[in-house]
Amino acid sequence: MTDRPRIALYPGSFDPVTRGHEDIARRGLQLADRVIVAVAEVATQVKRPRFTIDQRLDMLAQSFAGEPAIQPARFSGLLVDYAREVGATLVIRGLRAVSDFEYEFQMAQMNRALSSELETVFLVPNHDFDYLSASLVREIASLGGDVSRFVAPHVAAALKGP
């Protein structure tokens, strides 16, 4: 062990950031001195994003304003390369249900194959959020439903926009 600050990456699409994501990022501070919430320009599961990367980063910055140990950032290319670049030794992912496991396990093993020094840890969200996903939030909002319990007010407002 060294005295170097421990940096964790919490990567994802964050399209948009939900209360569940916020919970996992904060829990990450139990394991690391700094958590970089890293918005991927290239996501493994190809999706048509609702928000641009800049909009997603702006929402993350508002969610974690006043929490300097949680830092939103963007990255392009491979997660393992970005981890090396910023000196991160941990990757944090949230695990909600068994259905998440296969995809998460595959990514964790693949990232380990690409970079053996990078450790993936799974954090379980508060049970209030374990059914929550950004895609369901997007769908509910697009159909006029109330998402105020699932996202921060600034995100709910953005979801009402074009």
**Location of structure tokens 């007010």:** 153
C-alpha–C-alpha distance, residues 12 and 79, integer Å: 10
CB nearer ligand PNS, residue 40 or residue 141:
40
Q: State which H helix or E strand residue 82 sits in.
A: helix 79-86
Q: Burial level of 30, CB count in 10 A (0-12/13-18/19+)?
A: exposed
Nearer Cβ to ligand PNS (12/72): 12
Query: Which residues here bind ligand PNS, judged by CB under 6 A?
Result: 11-13, 40, 42-45, 78-79, 107, 110-111
* Shortest spacing between CB 28 and ligand PNS, in angstroms: 14
Minimum distance of ligand PNS from residue 73's CB (angstroms): 13
The smaller minimum CB distance to ligand PNS, of residues 24 and 158, is found at 24
